[in-house]
Every structure is written in C-alpha cells, then in structure tokens.
Amino acid sequence: MIDTEPDSLAGARNGVHSGHAGTMLPPAARSVRDTGLDPQLLTSLLLKAAHGAGKTALQALSGKLRLSIGVLRELLAPMLAEQLVEVAWCGDSDIDVHYQLTMAGKHAAAACLARSRYAGPAPVTLSSYRAMVERQSVRQPQALRITPAELHAALAGDGLAPALRELIGAALHANRSMLLHGPSGSGKTMLARKLGNLQRGMIAVPHAILIGDAIVQFYDPLLHRAPTLLQSRQQDERRLPDLRWQLCQRPAVQVGAELNAAMLDLRHDSVNGVYYAPPHFQANNGMLIVDDLGRQRVAAPDLLNRLIGPMDAGIDHLSLQGGNTEAVPFDTTLLFATNLAPGAIADPAFLRRIGYKIALAPLSEDDYLALLQRECSVRGIGFDAGAADFLLGRLHGRAHPLLPSYPAQLLSRIDDFSSFAGTAPRLTEASLSQAWRSLFTEELS
C-alpha cells in the first residue's frame, strides 16, 4: 500500500482550494500515484465495479469509484494487456468507451468479492485524512467562529439570561467541552442541537478511509449535511475536484442512552468485508453531542474518560479484526447533556476536565410568558393574557417549575385536540386544562 500524501492533498494544504471562509475539495488525482493507494487495491475495486454490469461506460466507472478518467486509464492498460477486460464499444470521443470483463476478469472479480464486497468510492489514505482534519480543525486560527450578535440572534427566543449566553459563547469560541445540566424539560437537548447547527464553515469528508489494510466507510449523508447553495459556489470550478471527498457542513453527531462501549469502535461487517466508522469518529471537525449522560449502557466515568482523553490528545485508537489498533485523528467539540446532578456523574477532579459546566434553570415568569407568546405566534394560535395567567397561577402553581419545554408541548396538544375536533386551536383555560391533563399524571382539582 502506498501511504504517502498525494499531490492532490498537498495542493489543498498549500491553499489551492482553501480559504478562511471554508474548505474546498482537493484537486482530483491525475495518476494512480496521486491517489496514495496501492494499484492492486484500485484494480480490485475496478473489477468489482465492472462485475455483473455487462458493458460499462468509462464515465460510469469513474462516477462509481470517484476516480478521474486518467487514473482509470492507467489501471485499465495492464488489465487489457492481461485480458481481464476488453473494449466492448467505442464512440466518437476518446472517453466515450465501454468496457466489459472477460471470463478471466469475471473470475478475478469473483475472487475479489469473496474477500470484500465493497465496490464503492475509492478510499483516501489515513495520512491524507489526518492532514485534512488538521487543516479543517476549528482550533486553527483562521477557522470561522460565531459572533456574539449571531449567538444572541439564534438564542433570543429561548429565554436564556445574558450571563448564560455569554458562558455558552465563550465555550463555543474556545471550542472547549461543555456539560449542560438541569432538570428534564429545561431545554438541554434543544439547546445542544442549536449549538451544533451554529458551527461555522464547511469541511471535506471522505466517502471511505483506508485504515491499515481495511476500507472504513465514513461519509453518512444524514450526519454530513450538504452545504447551502451559497457555500457550494465557493468551490473552484476551474479544476476538477477529488470526488472521493464530499463537501459538507460541520457535523453535529448526537448519541443518547443507546450508546455502549462497542459503538465507540470500528464495526466490522463480516458479510460484506467492510468496516463502518463509529459516531465520535464521524464527528471529526464538528461536534459530538452525548445526550442523557448517565443513562448509557456504559458507566458515565468510563464514557467521559473514553472521550475526553482522546479529545485532549487529539488522537483516538480504533481496533481492527485480529486485535490490531490504528491511531486516528480525534478533533471534535464534546457537548454532554444530563438531568442528573454533576456530582452524581463524576467526582470533582474529573469534572474539572470538562471545560464549561452550564446549568439550565427554570425560566422567570416574564421569560416564560414571552416564550409562550412566541410559540403561539409560530403556530398561529392567538395569545390570550387571561389564559396565560391561568396557566401560571392555576396549572403551574408551585408544583411545576417554569421549564422552557412546556409551552411547545402544551400548544402541540392543543393543536392535536382541535385538529381532531375539526376546530381552530385556541388558547383558553379549557384547552390548557385538557392539554395539561394529557401531559401530566395528576388530576386537576
């Protein structure tokens, strides 16, 4: 395996496709050497891509493997000489060519498929990925950071005190780990998602990475969201990009109570002979949100130690079949959310390793009413001050704190009941009482 930094990434490191406003894809590899990969690996992928397809256009193979026509021609030349493939049809241009496997080629492809059924985009090398992660790190001086005005605009309707917004802003600016803690319903999960969406800039992520001798599928369109149209136009269209990389927004990967220790390592698919990247690895150059900390199927101190240690070092170690481990980059902002008291999660010495501890408390009456009025406006429900007073004094009383999740939950139930009845939703004492009884278990006297 060739594992040197290819010319394409070296160009990107020198600024060919980069800028302070975001990351550009590196230029396409023009030769097999530029890919950084062993020719045998690329030949195996090419055989599998052509297997079972009959006559296959050169451009179709290029699209499937995300490799340039020049790289494919370099691979096809010896395959033609060894009679593994043959030209099935030629058009008017030199790229309008269809190839098909010979009988010998089909046997070779079957042998490759028996080892691994992966026939998708060619991987990038681990060294190339490591260099890209370093260049795209939010810790780089030129990385875009959210401004106080942008943070204020994003959180203006959440009823957060100015001091709390300043605390969150400082944590985001410094890219330090955060622990959001407070009672259930205090808005931790919603706030965590908002902070993940506030990350600035674009990054390039690979479809797959070659780690050791194994192909690890990395890109996930549900996690690695496409950039906006305006951001996409920043790509330099004068030079073909390396399509083994995908341009996307900084990811915000969320895991919850389902998380266990095994999910934080490479997952091997023995049927297809490929590995899948764990969620914290896919969160590189972005944010990892661990919701419901303390509810996972791994002890909270063990989970914190598993993540904070590699984050501090910038390196994680992932395991392959056979017991081999590989060092991979770990560059992410960690955000934990819990409704447990911090002292119930870890001891004070360990909690100091988390950069910012941010307590979310119940809202004041004024902030709660402002949030209720805003939710009414969003849902097209007329705000009634008398009904709002009834909600505060009669329903909440002293037993239920004014948590920011309640307005949306109550109004969504008012929507449900009115939709079922075929009437327009209204904020009244009766509709609030009906919604309240569906939300809580105690009876109203």
394-406 pLDDT tens trace: 999 988 999 999 9
Q: Kindly indicate the confidence band of residue 156, based on its pLDDT and cuts at 50, 70 and 90.
A: confident
Share of the chain above pLDDT 70, in %: 91
59-95 pLDDT tens trace: 999 999 999 999 999 999 999 999 999 999 998 887 8
The larger pLDDT score, comparing residue 24 to residue 61, is at: 61
What CA–CA distance (Å, rounded) separates 104 from 47?
A: 11
The phi, psi pair for 3, rounded to 5°, reads -130, 45
Query: In this predicted structure, what is the pLDDT of residue 444?
Result: 63
Average the pLDDT over 172-181 and give the result.
95
Average the pLDDT over 95-113 and give the result.
95
Residue 233 above 70 pLDDT?
A: no
Average the pLDDT over 358-376 and give the result.
94
Residues 308, 317 contacting (CB under 8 angstroms):
no
Q: Kindly indicate the confidence band of residue 15, based on its pLDDT and cuts at 50, 70 and 90.
A: very low
Give the rounded distance of the alpha carbon of 125 from its chain centre: 20
3-class SS at 52?
Answer: coil
DSSP string, 152-211: HHHHGGGT--HHHHHHHHHHHHHT--EEEE-STTSSHHHHHHHHHHT--SEEEEESEEEE
pTM recorded for the entire structure: 0.88
Nearest to 219 by CA among 284, 293, 155: 284
Residues 137, 331 contacting (CB under 8 angstroms):
yes
Question: Encoding tokens for residue 3?
Answer: 């594992």
Query: In this predicted structure, what is the pLDDT of residue 24?
Result: 79
Total residue length of the chain = 445
Q: Kindly indicate the confidence band of residue 334, based on its pLDDT and cuts at 50, 70 and 90.
A: very high
Q: Residue 93 carries which DSSP code?
A: S
Give the rounded distance of the alpha carbon of 263 from its chain centre: 15
Residues 54, 60 contacting (CB under 8 angstroms):
no
Rounded alpha-carbon distances, angstroms, from residue 158 to 45, 97, 225, 249, 293: 51, 59, 25, 24, 22
Query: In this predicted structure, what is the pLDDT of residue 231?
Result: 52
3-class SS at 25?
Answer: coil
Question: Encoding tokens for residue 303?
Answer: 């989970």
What CA–CA distance (Å, rounded) separates 424 from 379?
A: 11
Rounded alpha-carbon distances, angstroms, from residue 39 to 75, 79, 217: 7, 11, 20
Residue 8 above 50 pLDDT?
A: no
Among 18-22, 66-70, 341-345, 388-392, which is the least confidently predicted range?
18-22
Average the pLDDT over 137-148 and give the result.
91
Domain boundaries 144-359, corresponding CATH code: 3.40.50.300
Paired strand residues for 211: 214
Domain boundaries 365-439, corresponding CATH code: 1.10.8
Share of the chain above pLDDT 90, in %: 82
Phi-psi region of 24 (alpha: psi -120 to 50; beta: other; left: phi over 0): beta
Paired strand residues for 319: 325
Average the pLDDT over 22-35 and give the result.
87
Query: Which residue type is seen at 278?
Result: P
Task: Compute the C-alpha angle 291/292/293, nearest 5°.
Answer: 90
Q: Residue 27 carries which DSSP code?
A: B
Query: In this predicted structure, what is the pLDDT of residue 108?
Result: 97
Query: In this predicted structure, what is the pLDDT of residue 17?
Result: 40
Domain ranges in the chain are: 38-122, 144-359, 365-439
Q: Kindly indicate the confidence band of residue 238, based on its pLDDT and cuts at 50, 70 and 90.
A: low
Q: Which residues, at least 6 apart from 40, have a Cβ–Cβ distance to it below 8 Å?
A: none
Domain boundaries 38-122, corresponding CATH code: 1.10.10.10
Residue 326 above 90 pLDDT?
A: yes
Nearest to 275 by CA among 314, 325, 329: 325
Average the pLDDT over 300-321 and give the result.
95
Query: In this predicted structure, what is the pLDDT of residue 51?
Result: 94
The winner for highest mean pLDDT among 149-153, 155-159, 263-267, 347-351 is 263-267
